[in-house]
Structure 1
């Protein structure tokens, strides 16, 4: 196939192919570098947003302090973290080796326990009923009645919280992966989210798993594609102009020399060609024909 091409075509195609390969390679390298930089920046911002919570959460997990983990101020703190969609904390207490599992979802604004068992729920109901029965007894002094009323109110709140946790756990269907990560950071392009997993500081360990909205990151990806495509198109256009110029500079003299060689010896006029004054191989060829 190459034998069918003229020198002009062969030079143009070979140079164009070389330029396309170089531009494609450089564009891909530029994309990889830019995208990796944006992803690393996003991971750093995500870690920075949840890092202030780590000591408080680790201390609460160490003591299995669900009150500290689920108080309203904790909800407010989590709701103020931009792009945070989901938080999952799982660990083991440092004293009785009890599991601690809570979750937060921005959509509902709820924090709930994941480890509520039917036995715990029944035990809390029994405690509530026992307190209610004692409060109904006659001849209670004022101080005892106030204490029982306080404990009954707390038992009712605990029971409501446990029942709500069971309900939310049963109904929760995550639209993103929530399995523990093998690495510290992961992207999930199909869901337009990113996740980060950090180890807790308590003795028996655990982890904090957070899912963030990363749609803005994928918008940046489209911008990177567009910018690099424009730069590649400009580079290709400039290269085409240079290839055409260089090809013409090389081939045009050869065509003129070939046209002279097609003439009879009496009609040859090599001396009139400007190629005879060139210092490159074309000039050597022209002077050889002239002599």
Structure 2
């Protein structure tokens, strides 16, 4: 082998050595990019699945803790789960807080099926006996005793409904074939089964004795993404390798150093901006092409990263900032504006009786209402204000003005803007249209206070105080604003309420 190497010319030696170097670098970058993008996409899909289930954790926890099968089998619960994209199966399991009874309820959302999977052997017989007993009691009651008749009829209908549920559960449990095996490990709350491309999500319940939500999602999109990603990376690697082969083939000794400089840059953590001013970018030969291709690859990676960041920072429905963005932006925003001597306000805006709106008009109309309200709130803000969808029908606004009066005016303008849309809401008693209640807290610090301020604690104080003010609005009749002041450092645990305004 050494003898063969001695027979190689300098150009062949340079060609083979640099070709091997290019192969190693491009392969390493391709593997690293594949692993990074694949993990990021899986994690993103799991995060979306988790977020779609977050709103169900509290009601399911309460239902499991109180053994409330009626709540877990409501049509609205099935409709909510059916509305979650790509969900194939859900199992709610746990232990009740009072009798320590095991509770297991299963759903197949795309077929609108729900049944109990925790039936004891004698429950069906006990239910049938209860129906027969009530039927017999009803026959013995005199027809003129209408109150007793109505009472027994009500109890009988409930007992029959329970009997139907039990019979339905027995039938479905016997005929249902569980196609998925629950993973033994979740990292940290999800597991991807690549043999079937199903995404398993496991979230804990919050009742005293614990429980979990196990959901199975169709992850065929991840399979398509993986195929596309593999094809893209292989193609780009082949193109890069071909370019490297062409460049190295025509090299001479005078371009060895530029190639080495490119190889050194590839082994470091860089982005496309760090290549600005790179002399090889100005060349019109093959070395310049290789440098441009490398910079383009980095640009594409940065663009994809920016796209993923934007998706996590923005609420997908309203376009406002997400709760994740609020948690990262609030402290910086408040610190910057308080140090500039401005009055900073944190407003919590909550749509009045929104659950009733969803129940009456449906969740699709509810989503449209959320978009409309978000647009009205945004229309009354400036380009230095920040608006976030905090969760459900709750929005958080961060704004700064010269004084308290201007902040209060912003809150009132937003409240009126939503009311004047005149979006019908028969479930909002007293108003008949969609309205919002706003709880606001404001802070303005002196120079001395700014020097010792704990702005992370200030964020928590502002939010807590605004939440209390929102509660006062709800208690006072809704469709109004209330403000409270927070000055740092706080001297007591309570904050003065400045008043509710309608």
TM-score by length of 2: 0.48
Q: Secondary structure at the match of 2:140?
A: coil
> Would you say 1:71 and 2:74 are equivalent positions?
yes
Task: Report the RMSD for the aligned CA atoms in angstroms.
Answer: 1.8
> Would you say 1:224 and 2:226 are equivalent positions?
no
Cα distance in 2, alignment partners of residues 239 and 138 from structure 1: 95
Tell whether the 8 Å contact from 2:205 to 2:212 is kept in structure 1 after alignment. yes
Tell whether the 8 Å contact from 2:141 to 2:149 is kept in structure 1 after alignment. no
Gapped runs of 5+ residues in structure 1?
A: 251-291
Cα distance in 2, alignment partners of residues 226 and 148 from structure 1: 69
Q: CA deviation at 1:167?
A: 1.3
Cα distance in 2, alignment partners of residues 163 and 66 from structure 1: 14
Q: CA deviation at 1:179?
A: 4.8
Cα distance in 1, alignment partners of residues 207 and 20 from structure 2: 60
> Would you say 1:246 and 2:255 are equivalent positions?
no
Q: CA deviation at 1:143?
A: 1.8
Higher alpha-carbon Rg: 1
Find runs of 4+ consecutive structure 1 residues off by over 3 angstroms: 8-11, 179-183, 247-250
Matches within 5 A, 1:122-201: 122-137=125-140, 139-140=142-143, 141-179=145-183, 181-183=185-187, 184-201=189-206
The more displaced of 107-116 and 39-48 is 107-116
Aligned with 2:87 (options 84, 89, 93): 84
The more displaced of 67-76 and 219-228 is 219-228
Matches within 5 A, 1:12-31: 12-31=15-34
Tell whether the 8 Å contact from 2:82 to 2:110 is kept in structure 1 after alignment. no
Tell whether the 8 Å contact from 2:92 to 2:105 is kept in structure 1 after alignment. yes
Q: CA deviation at 1:186?
A: 0.4
> Would you say 1:58 and 2:70 are equivalent positions?
no
Q: Secondary structure at the match of 1:198?
A: strand
Q: Deviations over 1:143-176 (max 9, x none)?
A: 2222222212221111110011111112221222
**Cα 1:107–1:205 shift into 2, 3 Å:** same
TM-score by length of 1: 0.81
In structure 2, what is the equivalent of residue 121 of structure 1?
A: 124
Gapped runs of 5+ residues in structure 2?
A: 256-502
Tell whether the 8 Å contact from 1:175 to 1:191 is kept in structure 2 after alignment. no
Cα distance in 2, alignment partners of residues 138 and 220 from structure 1: 68
Q: CA deviation at 1:182?
A: 4.0
Aligned with 1:109 (options 83, 108, 112): 112
Q: Secondary structure at the match of 1:232?
A: helix
Q: CA deviation at 1:9?
A: 3.7
Q: How many residues align?
A: 250
Q: CA deviation at 1:15?
A: 2.2
Greater helix content: 1
Q: Secondary structure at the match of 2:236?
A: helix
Cα distance in 2, alignment partners of residues 105 and 89 from structure 1: 12
Cα distance in 2, alignment partners of residues 179 and 153 from structure 1: 41
